[in-house]
Amino acid sequence: MKTQPDAAVLNWVDAQLETDLFLCAISKAEIEWGIGQLVDGKRKQQLQQAASAVFALFAERCLTYDCTTASHYAMIALQTQQSGRPMSVEDMMLAAIARTHHALLVTRNIKDFIGLSDMPLFNPWDHSKE
């Protein structure tokens, strides 16, 4: 959450239907964890306020990790282990949630998901696609 968000990301978000955009509970946890690690002060407070505002926008569109997702997670964990491209637990959870919902996974870290050949990925920060 930057003071001046990336224009390419804003343009991509603006081009989407609001009802087509979702937040993963895993991403929410990572954001809250990252902010929580900061030293108390103005920056931390500003980030908490910005995050709260974003989370409020997605209150009814926050995708969770459930039993169906757990099965997808197991398949992804096996696939990445067998391919020799292990992923972090959080990334496997994000991928499993996306797979459960047949969703495009939008991330800046495409390289972390490359081992999942059947996972639709998009990086709105990648200006080379413009």
Sequential pLDDT tens for the chain (130 residues): 676 788 899 999 999 999 999 999 999 999 999 999 999 999 999 999 999 999 999 999 999 999 999 999 999 999 999 999 889 999 999 999 999 999 999 999 999 998 898 899 999 998 655 4
**What pLDDT, on a 0 to 100 scale, did the predictor assign at position 121?**
95
Q: In the prediction, which pLDDT does 128 show? A: 56
The residues, ordered by sequence, that sit 6+ positions from 77 with a Cβ below 8 Å of its Cβ are: 87, 92
Model-level pTM? Answer: 0.89
> CA-to-CA distance for 107 and 130, rounded, in angstroms?
16
